[in-house]
Structure 1
């Protein structure tokens, strides 16, 4: 169940807020449509609910705000716009990568592909999918962690009639199995046809919250569309016969040869036209939108303007009447929440006294208005709620609901005020509606043990709580996620191939020119280049590790920005290290082989100090890869990551050389001996020698510059991460 309270977006300059004080709820087992024309605030309301946009208000998903849910993707499946994936990734590879992020088995990807009908397209690239297939993939991504709630922004936009029918059947199946579905629509007929409840927004304000049947009765008026070259004569004839028969029939001249007849049928109009010999070109039943913004809502089957209603006949209800959604206090400006904003009714005194401040676990919050009560609350008894998909899934979700400790915590406050909430607004229910348990399961204990008197004494704020944009949680399996992300596209393999080719050519040309040491020759690093091709390639692959995340934010589909967590960073550094080591070894091997083929064995002899040279070479390549990862993570750009790699030899190394230049009074001679004396222990396998070798590498200008750069980038990354958490 979704409960939204006081959603208000931050205004921009002198413009009013896109969403102003919107409160509604979407029940489990129901499809709820958020209806409104373009610019009504539907998408902004969803973004406020999902904490993707700053503002005010609070939204509960089965009794918990989104930032209190450990793994939001397992509770709420989100589809906002197109699928945010790399266009070169395959459909199946994209879903498998998201499986690692959500912590679900990889076989779940094949299951949802079968559910949404994309099995035959599992090897297609994301960039080649049509609009309909992209919508199917987006729904598959939302269903991947098997969430209880689906939140979709205009999911049928751009789809054909057949694809739209399939989409709504999928959403209906999810609701029938006990899930909650909230979607935005722009066509009122589509909302009445596919939703159980319709919440109407106009200019950022809630104007109606009705059952689908009540919505269709009050806003959608059936009519008969007539086209005839004798439209004026037919209109007069129909009006005359209606007066003679004392029937409530309204005839509206739409312009040209078109009529809209309210209160009659195609059969009656056709018989009247036949009796009087009037030619009719069209005679069809239509549904007209008579609600707010009707002229802005696209219609199907008619391009005529909104009906110009004449004087209503005796006994006919007012044609302009839409629905009464606000009571007298709201109309006078004293309370903007008297009817629409009223969320949950207070328990009666008998329950408060007999239950010690706790409602029955099976009790569901009462309906918000009398019309819902009169129409029959389908959730008055939890036993009438749709059954869950299976017992194990229901038990798991019930355990999640039981783990909540007082969701109405002090930091997530409710509020009141003379200009915001009326006295009718009451406190939260003490027992949250959950899906029915299997009969063998234990009863659900009430979570909120505070008495009603204590809750009523809580301090109240005049405004709803602020909404802060929080980053998405890191992947549950970050290493597996990063491996699938890096291996899922061909960019890494293309970069590695280009590096090997460039390195081999550079080594051959450098050997032909001469005057280059053998160690630099094997690494394809002439004096004229700031970095060898292998180091540049490793830095580029490291920069892509975070740059692709921000360019194609697959992890941010359900919560805020791309996460910059330490767990994800460690996974990216490990994968970048393995990639850099592989690239360094392959580069030296390929260069040696090419030099042997071209010039013979003379240039491929192993140097005597190969351990130190190997350590320096490995440190250089791995350091460039780490610099690319950290810089791209801090600056959110692949270009910035590659620039940070190039800045090491171009900017930092000259600064270090300048700092070390000049006469020195003391040197570091005898450093290994003093290091052994300081540690007072003999390291196994000569460990102190390796430590001294590392110290010598760092003491070099390039090594020292790389160490300084990595230290600065790591500190910047940690500070950025901590600042996002504080926010």
Structure 2
């Protein structure tokens, strides 16, 4: 049972609310259509139900509001707009990623592709799908968690008549198993064909809440569609006969050679055309919209009519001031690490960036080695003085920025529930995966550059340096720091470009400032720091570890290491602050 009570959107400036005091029910086991013309507030009503838009009112899904449901994807399946996925991701990859978010087995993706008729198109990319295939994939995304309630916004948009018939059959099958189905439409004929109950709204207010039989009787009028080259002649003849026999027959010219005859039948129209010698090219029974049936009512500005027949929705008691609807973040993925891996490697962008970074890195190392002036550390990581960062470190930062940036551009978590949430589990998974990717890229860059240098100039150029552990730690720290800087900045500012800017800001802006601070002579030394740390620590580590502690301190004390540490600290504080501010709003 879906119960929407007192839904009212927040008005903008002096304009009236898009949805105003909307109350209705969608019972289980039945298909409910939310009918209204474009701009009547249907989509806004759905967003209020799903707590995606601020306003007032409450919506209960089997007695609980959405934010009180532990696993929303298993209770409510949502389709708002197009499929929210990266256009180069495959249909199967998109569903498998959402399976990890919903906490269901990955095999569920193939089952749903079979159900929606996309079994042979699982490896096709989302950007190449037709409108009908896109809607099928969106419906599969809504059904992933086997939800009890389906909330669909214009699910038949862009579908052919055959696909619409298939969709209506699928929705009725879901309702027949005891599920609740609520979908919006602007076509009265579709509502009459596909729904068991029709809720009609206009200007954000309830107009009628009826069973489909009552809706067809009171809101729709049967008519006979006629197409003839002598439309005006046939219309005049039928009007004269209707007046002579005192019958209530209305003939409306639809333009060109088409007529709509109300209050008659195909047999009567055909007989009249035969009597008057008028050829008929088309003669069919149709059902057309008669517009709202006006009866006196209350609650509309200026005394406009309103229809609210007795029913369950009108029996719900509404308080004078419905509770507010704050915008609540969606739940994070139930399997964040699996989700993040599928998100990262489900598109070819990741592999292309890594391959491009390795190729550029190898080329730069060969060019640097020709001069004979670059130190071995710069050769192995391909870091010429003209570049702010080595190619591999910049690529790690770019992949980190895409980790959040792509999701805010193509929302993937809990499809249709708004922007990507920033939960601790998801953040931890992203930090771990981005760090692992950065380490892999750093290792491949060093090994690849060393092999290229051996091939180009011989084995004497590349040798294992004495301070190899310290160099490796610095290189790993730089790569991971760039990846995390891009990730956190994209998460704070919700933009990939902001993450890339944060990565470049470290060597371009922060490092020069740190170098100026460290340029002066130092009267103090950090010698003896491990011993002082041992005195403060509860656990006593072995004295052999002092050497590693000092090595870590020296790495951090370098200008680049210190700049990265300061930048990451600032980004973490900004991330926590924005997260707490978002929670404080609700």
TM-score over 0.5 for the alignment?
Answer: yes
* Aligned CA-pair RMSD: 2.5
Contact 2:488 2:571 in 1 (8 A): yes
Aligned residue for 1:64, secondary structure, equals coil
User: In the alignment, what sits opposite 1:183?
Assistant: 183
- Structure 1: runs of 5+ lacking an equivalent: 293-321, 343-365, 370-423, 428-459
Which of 478, 490, 496 is matched with 1:632 structurally? 490
How far did 1:699 drift?
A: 1.3
2:317 corresponds, among 426, 430, 441, to 426
Per the alignment, do residues 642 and 198 of structure 1 end up closer, same or farther by CA in structure 2, a change over 3 Å counting? same
Q: What's the offset of the Cα at 1:260?
A: 3.4
Which residue does the alignment assign to 1:515? Answer: 373
Once residues 644 and 656 of structure 1 are traced to their aligned partners in structure 2, the CA distance between those partners, rounded to angstroms, is 16
2:2 maps to 2
3-state SS, counterpart of residue 92 of structure 1: helix
Q: Distance in 2 between matches of 1:258 and 1:484?
A: 55
Q: 1:425 to 1:585 in 2, by over 3 A?
A: closer
Structure 1 counterpart of 2:32: 32
Q: Which moved more, 1:564-573 or 1:517-526?
A: 517-526
Shift of 1:665: 2.3
CA distance in 1, matches of 2:434, 2:477: 13
Shift of 1:200: 0.9
Specify whether residues 514 and 114 from structure 1 end up closer, same or farther in structure 2 by C-alpha distance, changes over 3 A only.
same
Q: Mean alpha-carbon deviation: is it higher for 225-234 or for 497-506?
A: 225-234
SS at 1:508 equivalent: helix
User: Aligned in 2, Cα 1:331/1:82: closer, same or farther, shift over 3 Å?
Assistant: closer
1:541 & 1:291 partners in 2: Cα distance? Answer: 54
* Equivalent residue number for residue 86 of structure 1: 86
Measured in 1, the distance between the counterparts of 2:287 and 2:530 equals 90
Q: Does 1:721 align with 2:579?
A: yes
The answer to whether the 8 Å contact 1:330/1:338 transfers is no
Shift of 1:209: 1.0
- How far apart are the structure 1 equivalents of 2:272 and 2:127? 57
Pick closer, same or farther for the CA change 1:31–1:274 going to 2, 3 Å. Answer: same
CA distance in 1, matches of 2:104, 2:78: 17
1:84-233 paired onto structure 2 within 5 Å? 84-228=84-228
Please give the alpha-carbon distance, in whole angstroms, between the structure 1 residues aligned to 2:444 and 2:289.
69
Gaps of 5+ in 2: none
Indicate how the Cα distance of structure 1 residues 488 and 624 shifts in structure 2: closer, same or farther if over 3 A, else same.
same
Answer yes or no: is the 8 Å Cα contact 1:74–1:102 preserved in 2: yes
Secondary structure, counterpart of 1:515 in structure 2: coil
Structure 2: how far apart are the matches of 1:677 and 1:202?
A: 73
Deviation at 1:228, TM superposition (A): 4.8
Number of the residue aligned with 1:579: 437
Tell me how far apart the structure 2 counterparts of residues 199 and 577 of structure 1 sit (CA, whole Å).
51
> Which range moves more in the overlay, 95-104 or 519-528?
519-528
User: Conserved in 1, the CA contact under 8 Å of 2:101 and 2:414?
Assistant: no
**Residue aligning to 1:692:** 550
**8 Å contact 1:676–1:688 — kept in the other structure?**
no
- How much does 1:514 deviate? 2.1
Decide whether the 8 Å contact of 1:102 with 1:475 is kept in 2: yes
Match of residue 367 from structure 1: 312
In the alignment, structure 1 residue 540 sits paired with structure 2 residue 380 = no
Question: Which residue is equivalent to 2:14?
Answer: 14
Q: Give me the whole-angstrom Cα distance separating, in 1, the residues matched to 2:281 and 2:145.
A: 54
Question: Retained in 2: the 8 A contact 1:218–1:323?
Answer: no
Structure 1 Cα separation of the partners of residues 232 and 407 of structure 2: 64
Matching of residue 525 in structure 1 with residue 373 in structure 2 = no
After TM superposition, the structure 1 stretch with the greater mean CA deviation from structure 2, 500-509 or 680-689, is 680-689
- CA distance 1:330–1:664, shift in 2 (3 Å): closer
Question: Are the aligned partners of 2:73 and 2:414 in contact in 1 as well (CA < 8 Å)?
Answer: no
| 1:407 match | none
Q: Cα 1:337–1:628, aligned 2, differ >3 Å: closer, same or farther?
A: same
* Residues 511-520 or 164-173, more deviating: 511-520
Query: CA offsets, 1:239-276, max 9 Å, x none?
Result: 56556666544444556665433222111232233345
For residues 195 and 678 of structure 1, the distance between their equivalents in structure 2, rounded to whole angstroms, comes to 71
CA distance 1:585–1:644, change in 2 (3 Å): same
CA shift, 1:670, in A, is 3.6
**Structure-2 change in CA distance of 1:106 and 1:237 (3 Å):** same
CA contact 1:77–1:558 (8 Å) conserved in 2: no
Which residue pairs with 2:353 in the alignment?
Answer: 495
Question: SS where residue 555 of structure 1 aligns?
Answer: coil
Mapped to 1, the partners of 2:448 and 2:230 lie a distance apart of 88
Return the TM-score normalized by structure 1. Answer: 0.76
Deviates most, 221-230 or 263-272: 221-230
Distance of 1:277 and 1:336 partners within structure 2: 45
Verify the 8 A CA contact 2:24 2:313 in the aligned structure 1.
no
Q: Compute the displacement of 1:282 (Å).
A: 3.8
In structure 1, distance between residues paired with 2:391 and 2:277: 89
Structure 2 residue 470 is matched with structure 1 residue 615:
no
Equivalent residue for 1:284? 284
Partners of 2:236 and 2:457 in 1: CA distance? 103
Report the CA distance between 1:511 and its aligned residue.
1.0
2:511 alignment counterpart: 653
Deviations along 1:11-51, one digit per CA (max 9) or x if unpaired, are 22232221111111111111111111111111111111111
Distance 1:253 1:38 in 2: 25
- 1:689 Cα deviation from its structure 2 partner: 2.1
Number of paired residues? 585
Aligned-partner Cα distance in 1 for 2:305–2:253: 39
Secondary structure in 2 matching 1:499: helix
Distance 1:559 1:38 in 2: 22
- In structure 2, the CA distance between the partners of 1:674 and 1:265, relative to structure 1 (3 Å rule), is closer
Deviates more, 1:136-145 or 1:659-668: 659-668
